[in-house]
Amino acid sequence: MSTRHPGVLRRPLRVGLVCPYALDVPGGVQNQVLGLAAFLRGAGHDVRVLAPGGLPDDAYGLEPARFTSAGAPLAVRYNGSVAPVALGPLAAARSRRWVAAHAVDLLHVHEPLVPSASLPALTAARAPVVATFHTATPRSRALRIAGSALSGAVDRIDAGIAVSPTAREVVVGHLGRDAVVVPNGLDVDAYGSSPTGSPSSVRPTGAPPRLLFLGRGGERRKGLDVLLAALPALRRAHPDLEVLVAGPGPGALPAGCRNLGLVDENTKRALLRTADVFVAPHTARESFGIVLLEAMASGVPVVASDLPPFVDLLGGAADPAGQVFRRGDPAGLAAAVTAALAEGRGSRTERARALAQRYDWSVVGPEVLGVYADVLTERSAEGAS
C-alpha cells in the first residue's frame, strides 16, 4: 500500500463523479465530491456529477449543466447515521442512463456499494472505475453482505481509495482487496479568511468563553452527550461558558447551550473563527474527521476524542496539535477543554494549521490524479497486449 502516487496524466480527462448522498444535504462525503469536482475542473478536466437531490447553494462553482439528479432522496439509517439516498428502480434506472449517456474516460464512484446512485452506476460502468471508500464500521453488516453477494460489482473496480488507514482496514477485511490511502481534501485557505457576506467574526473583548460542536447531535456516535455531561465540571470554573451546537437533531439543550440547527458553509467558517475551543467528542465509526480538520485549518484550539483517525490528523499521540481525551469520558473532556482554554491560540494551533495544509486540495488532488493515471495506464497496457 502507498499513500502517495507518482502517476502522471498526459491529457485532460472526462471524469464522471458519483455520490450516493444528496449534495444539498450537508455531509462529509458530499463535500468531498464537490471539492474534488472543483479541483478537477481547475486542473482542466471535464467533470460530470451524479447524485440524489439537487445542488446546494454553495456547490463549489459546479454548474447545473454538469450535474444530474438520481432522484429525490430518502432518509435511511446507515453506518450509525441517517443518509439521504435515492433508492428504488427509478433511481437505479436514472443512474444507469447517466452512465450510458456520458462517454467518460474514468468513473469515480464514492461509497460504491451503497445502493443509491453509486451501486447501479458501478454495475453499468464501461469505463475504468476508481472507487473511494469512506466507511469506518468494523462490523458493517452491509459490507459483509456486499463482500459475498456483490462480488461481481466489486470486481468492476479497477482501483480502490480509502480515506484513512482505518477505512482501508475495513475494505481489506470485508471485501478482500486492497486500497491506496488518499485522505480527504480541504480548501485550507477558505478557513483562514473571512468569506464575503459571512457573519461577523469579531467578538467583544471579555466575551464569555465559547465552545463549538459541529455535527448531527442526535446521533450518539457524535458524542454530544459526552460534551453535555462535562458541562457541570466546566461551569464550576467558567460559569458563563457558552456552548454552540451547529447541526441537526440535538433536541432540547441545557441552559447556556444554543442550538443553531443546520448552517451553511460561510456561517460554519465564521463560527469556527469565533470559537475559543472546538470540541470533537465523537465516540465511534469515524474514518477521517473532516470537521476536526476544518477546525485545525481555522486556527481554533481543538479538543478531540482519542479515535485513531483524530489522533492521526493531530500529528500522533506523542505530541498532538490539540488536546486529546479518552473517548466517552466527560471528566477527561472537561480537563482537556480547561487546558485548551488556558493555553489559547499559540504554537499548538499554529502547528495544527500547518498539519491541515497537508490535506489541502493542492496536495490531495494530485494524489487522486495519480491513481487515475495508474488505472488508465494499466487499462491501456491490457488493451495493447
Q: What is the mean pLDDT of residues 228-243?
A: 96
Residue 37 lies in a domain: yes
**Same domain, yes or no: 180 and 207:** no
The dihedral over CA atoms of 165, 366, 186, 39, expressed in degrees to the nearest 10, equals -140
Please check the confidence at residue 134 and state whether its pLDDT lies above 80: yes
Query: Does 5 fall in a domain?
Result: no
Q: What is the DSSP letter of 186?
A: B
Instruction: Give 70-126 pLDDT, tens digit per residue.
Output: 999 998 876 667 789 999 999 999 999 999 999 999 999 999 988 899 999 999 999
Does some domain include residue 3?
Answer: no
* Residues 330-375: tens digit of each pLDDT: 999 999 999 999 999 999 999 999 999 999 999 999 999 999 999 9
Instruction: Provide the residue range defining the domain that includes 149.
Output: 14-185+360-384
Q: What is the mean pLDDT of residues 52-59?
A: 92
Q: Do 292 and 354 fall into the same domain?
A: yes
Asked whether residue 159 falls in the same domain as residue 193, the answer is no
CB-count burial class (<10 Å; 0-12, 13-18, 19+) for 159 = buried
Higher local confidence (pLDDT), 8 or 285 = 285
Residue 377's pLDDT band, with cuts at 50, 70 and 90, is very high
- Separation CA 10–CA 104 (nearest Å): 16
Whether 110 is in a domain gets the answer: yes
pTM above 0.75, yes or no: yes
Same domain, 163 and 299: no
Which residues lie closer than 8 Å to 133 by C-beta, 6 or more apart? Answer: 111, 112, 160, 161, 162, 163, 167, 168, 170, 171, 179
Output the pLDDT for position 196: 47
Distance of CA 14 to the CA centre of its chain: 24
For 36, the grid coordinates are: 474534488
Q: Kindly state whether residues 215 and 351 are assigned to the same domain.
A: yes
CA distances from 270 to 261, 264, 277, 359 (A): 15, 10, 13, 20
160 shares a domain with 194: no
For 312, other C-beta atoms within 10 Å of its C-beta total 18
Residue 138 lies in a domain: yes
Instruction: Tell me: do 143 and 264 sit in the same domain.
Output: no
What's the CATH number where 124 sits? 3.40.50.2000
**278 in Cβ contact with 296 (< 8 Å):** no
Same domain for 116 and 199, yes or no, is: no
Higher pLDDT, 299 or 148: 299
Do residue 344 and residue 200 come from a single domain?
A: yes
Q: Return the percentage of the chain with pLDDT > 90, whole number.
A: 70
Do 249 and 307 have their domain in common?
yes
Evaluate whether residue 9 is within a structural domain: no
Number of structural domains, the chain? 2
Are residues 286 and 365 both part of a single domain?
Answer: no
**In a domain? residue 219:** yes
Domain-embedded: residue 309: yes
pLDDT score, position 258: 94
Q: Are residues 194 and 165 in the same domain?
A: no
